[in-house]
Amino acid sequence: MATIGIVGLGLIGGSLAKAVKSKTLHDVYGFDIDQETMTFARISGAIDKALDLNNLSDCDLLFIAIAPHEAIKWVHDNAAKINHKTILIDLCGVKRTVFNAMSAAAAENNFTYIGGHPMAGTEHQGFVNSMVDMFVGTSMILTPPENFNDIKTLENLKSFFIDIGFANITFTNPAEHDRIIAYTSQLAHVVSSSYVKSPDALNRRGFSAGSFKDMTRVARLDENVWTELFLDNKDYLINQVEILIGHMNEYLDALKANDAERLKALLRDGREKKMLAGGN
């Protein structure tokens, strides 16, 4: 049995706490700046006790589930109090900025740090929307430091994540993570936010079905968090937005030219590429 510390009990941190308590025998210590969240977490049994400076050093695993800049500040402020036996894992949606800062703190204070990003979530936020089965069937991305050779630690982490529902563990480096996430996650949020701004979005009742719901779901986002994520990854995200605009212009040109054959070819190409990509 291990002691799991979680900083931030929102959607991801709260779901992690619930999953650990439901599926393992580990103790969970949690912290959130919102006292109402702390109360709900205690009453629901998601945490055993509050995480504080007195028990921080007891943690075997310490997860940081808050926005990137806040996560960096928290680790910077508390690094000296983290036990050398502790493995710290951030759960932020970007890796390069966070990884560089936390790796430096870990090296200076003699604890282990590994970057992390669970491929799970919803458009809703906060502990009240957290779910015990949030991670079931999903992927956990880990970015260990270069030349990290502690195989036992990686095997233990894999077992931990599998135990709480993850289907697989993906190992990569921070740059590769950020490059791919710019496409699979961040671009989707840009598209959704842009799509819902049509004036006809207000008149769509009675005319919309699954496609509208799918396209607009993630437009219900936290603009503070996502602005931070976008700017921390702007080089890769700019590239993806430019690629998308290029493809959108191909459809626009075909429509303006009333070119049925060109439009058909574009649609066929998109269908075939989706089949190659697979997935939902």
- Quote the pLDDT of residue 28: 98
pLDDT, one tens digit per residue, over 46-68 is: 999 999 999 999 999 999 999 99
pLDDT at 279 over 70: no
Q: What is the DSSP letter of 145?
A: P
27, β-bridge pairs: 3
Percent of the chain with pLDDT over 90: 84
Structural domains of the chain, with CATH: 3-172 (3.40.50.720), 177-277 (1.10.3660.10)
Distance CA 175, CA 141 (A): 13
pLDDT, one tens digit per residue, over 262-275 is: 999 999 999 999 99
pLDDT, one tens digit per residue, over 67-122 is: 999 999 999 999 999 999 999 999 999 999 999 999 999 999 999 999 999 999 87
Q: How far apart are the first and last CA of the chain?
A: 37
Distance CA 128, CA 222 (A): 15
